[in-house]
Structure 1
């Protein structure tokens, strides 16, 4: 009887965007395997794919290479997190569709507008697109405070959620119209419990700074270029242009918020649990504005042309 129960364990597939060798993924897999509650599959990028959002590989083939991870069947894939999930649930790589897809554990939180950039969240969203229950997990890593052991603590803190979700799936009572995004606070040992939240508007404001150029490879502007796209030197005349300029992103501030949002709950020490959907509809005041604005567009265009 115990053997039958063991064989009836649900199947969990793990992916991420930090790459298959990332400590967050490895810690999550170890916790899942050591619990002896699940069959564990891994289908994750073969290198870091952070902040690739929901990009997919379309025109080229991707490779899948077996990787040795104790207690799991694992493949490293030369694609994006969304590619990995899509391949992993397709039955082309594994013989069956997993009961649950978990994407993570990401190094760094995924709250607010950062959810749009996140390859971790995209790994879960791709499963949701295909009707497979999923969740993404991120740990609010802070340099100087966090250490690699915190990933295992984060995985253990989320294990009750994972187990409960699979129980609901088995009972066919789990909703398929959303997926869960989970953010674990930096001080995971002393977290305050789970809090249901909504996606907020927090974001790190980014800018660009020039860090170099290939001036030696520069070339004189042609007459045609000068006529159609003039570029002036600091002395006021036309000069050489480099083959390329080098720019790098830099942090220039942040946008935070108050209220019962994912970011606020995380900063207060809670494990933020946010149900997400595929769409990002405009808020009601935006809908109301454009409802009044759109009928007059053609009339405005006609009158302004006179």
Structure 2
């Protein structure tokens, strides 16, 4: 089995090395990761300049690009002769739950693998006092073994969030809902000019039953299946049934 590992915290982050080490017993692990932090870049793909791929050691590479760039290069260039059986992204420094999956470079790296037809898992470590990446590495290895054995439906991935303390167990969940207390913070730079920080306040989560946030808050690892197809089937059906009343031009 061949496993491609990437992340958005950068090649030198602790989480990605714990993850790669944890997966070594399952097969041949390749790491292709950004050469610097790329948090909250979502699914950005670099099209306006060439990318540099640096070989750091055997099966270990850094890219001066985004997490999506890394997975694309990993599959289409680094491992093109024998593509990976699985892509695992992480272990992210911080949670990726609820609405935040839309901003996450960690989750987007896994989505890129799903787009390219390869099963994928995104793993994030929720922060807290005295947290360790080691339990998240164990969870990642367990889930990776199951996915390698059983596979995943096309166009899907597993989004995993591990609580700060060793988890009590595992729950299958849905995405939760959160809001930030201050979306934008106004400030002044050293030259006296007004500037702005986005995402200034702490998130406030809704304790929705069955959600990823509630599972983590209660000490469990959350595993949320995500899909590429964002079509709202209910609204689509309603629009098709109501199309005549829209009086649309031919």
TM value normalised by structure 1: 0.73
Q: Conserved in 1, the CA contact under 8 Å of 2:89 and 2:121?
A: yes
Aligned partner of 1:187 in structure 2 is 165
1:206 Cα deviation after fit: 4.0
Alignment of 1:150-299 (within 5 A): 150-169=132-151, 174-188=152-166, 191-213=167-189, 245-249=194-198, 250-251=200-201, 253-282=203-232, 284=234, 288=238, 295-296=245-246
Q: Determine whether 1:20 maps to 2:28.
A: no
> Structure 1 residues 185 and 283 mapped into 2: Cα distance closer, same or farther (>3 Å)?
farther
Q: Determine whether 1:129 maps to 2:115.
A: yes
1:199 Cα deviation after fit: 1.6
Name whichever of 174-183 and 118-127 sits farther off: 174-183
Alignment root-mean-square deviation, CA = 2.6
1:252 Cα deviation after fit: 5.8
Query: Which of 59, 78, 98 is the matching residue for 1:93?
Result: 78
CA distance in 1 between partners of 2:244 and 2:48 (Å): 37
Q: Determine whether 1:45 maps to 2:27.
A: no
Q: Secondary structure at the match of 1:263?
A: helix
> Structure 1 residues 253 and 109 mapped into 2: Cα distance closer, same or farther (>3 Å)?
closer
CA distance in 1 between partners of 2:64 and 2:48 (Å): 13
CA distance in 2 between partners of 1:163 and 1:296 (Å): 50
Aligned partner of 2:22 in structure 1 is 31
> Structure 1 residues 286 and 160 mapped into 2: Cα distance closer, same or farther (>3 Å)?
same
Structure 1 portions without partners, runs of 5+: 1-9, 217-243, 299-306
1:290 Cα deviation after fit: 10
> Structure 1 residues 82 and 31 mapped into 2: Cα distance closer, same or farther (>3 Å)?
same
Aligned partner of 2:70 in structure 1 is 84
CA distance in 2 between partners of 1:294 and 1:266 (Å): 46
Structure 2 portions without partners, runs of 5+: none
The structure with more radius of gyration: 1
TM value normalised by structure 2: 0.88
Q: Secondary structure at the match of 2:59?
A: strand
Q: Conserved in 2, the CA contact under 8 Å of 1:45 and 1:78?
A: yes
